[in-house]
């Protein structure tokens, strides 16, 4: 780095950082925000449409049964206490290229034990 002044080096570094941020920052435009809000609302409404105490069997959720390694499963659906957006989207720090929105889903107390 001989011959380069400190100011030149800093300007070069700042330029590189600025260009990098342009590549990874998500712009929270009104259209983007509306898309996220509409999608989260659709998820919430879909969950709200499931009746409380709906009986879920292995026939209705075969992949779930396979994923947990059970032979058969039967449980009753209980609606979450709440669903809201959390994580990096909520504080506008999302990064590209893959944009993920975290949802906080609070399970009803009846599903939790003191050990949980």
Separation between Cα atoms, residue 108 and residue 75, nearest integer Å: 14
Chain segment 15-47, per-residue pLDDT in tens? 888 888 777 778 788 998 899 999 999 999 999
Give the range of the structural domain holding residue 87, as residue numbers without chain letter: 26-111
Q: How many structural domains are present in the chain?
A: 1
Identify the bridge partners of residue 103 per DSSP, sorted by sequence position.
85
Is residue 8 a part of any domain in this protein? no
Answer left, alpha or beta for residue 2, where phi above 0 means left and psi between -120 and 50 means alpha: beta
| Helix or strand run (H / E) with residue 32 | helix 30-49
Q: Find out whether 84 and 109 touch, Cβ atoms under 8 Å.
A: no
Q: Is residue 4 part of a domain?
A: no
Q: What percent of the chain has pLDDT over 90?
A: 30
pLDDT tens string 81-90: 899 999 888 8
Q: Is residue 36 part of a domain?
A: yes
pTM confidence score: 0.66
CA–CA separation, 43 and 100 (whole Å): 15
Quick check: 62 pLDDT over 70?
A: yes
- Average pLDDT of the chain to the nearest whole number: 84
């Amino acid at each position: 780095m001989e011959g380069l002044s400190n100011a030149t080096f800093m300007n070069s570094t700042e330029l590189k950082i600025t260009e990098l941020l342009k590549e990874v920052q998500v712009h929270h435009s009104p259209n983007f925000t509306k898309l996220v809000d509409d999608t989260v609302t659709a998820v919430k409404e879909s969950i709200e449409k499931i009746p409380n105490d709906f009986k879920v069997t292995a026939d209705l959720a075969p992949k779930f049964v396979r994923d947990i390694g059970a032979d058969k499963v039967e449980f009753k659906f209980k609606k979450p206490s709440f669903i809201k957006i959390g994580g990096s989207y909520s504080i506008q720090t999302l990064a590209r290229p893959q944009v993920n929105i975290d949802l906080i889903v609070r399970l009803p107390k009846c599903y939790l034990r003191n050990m949980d």
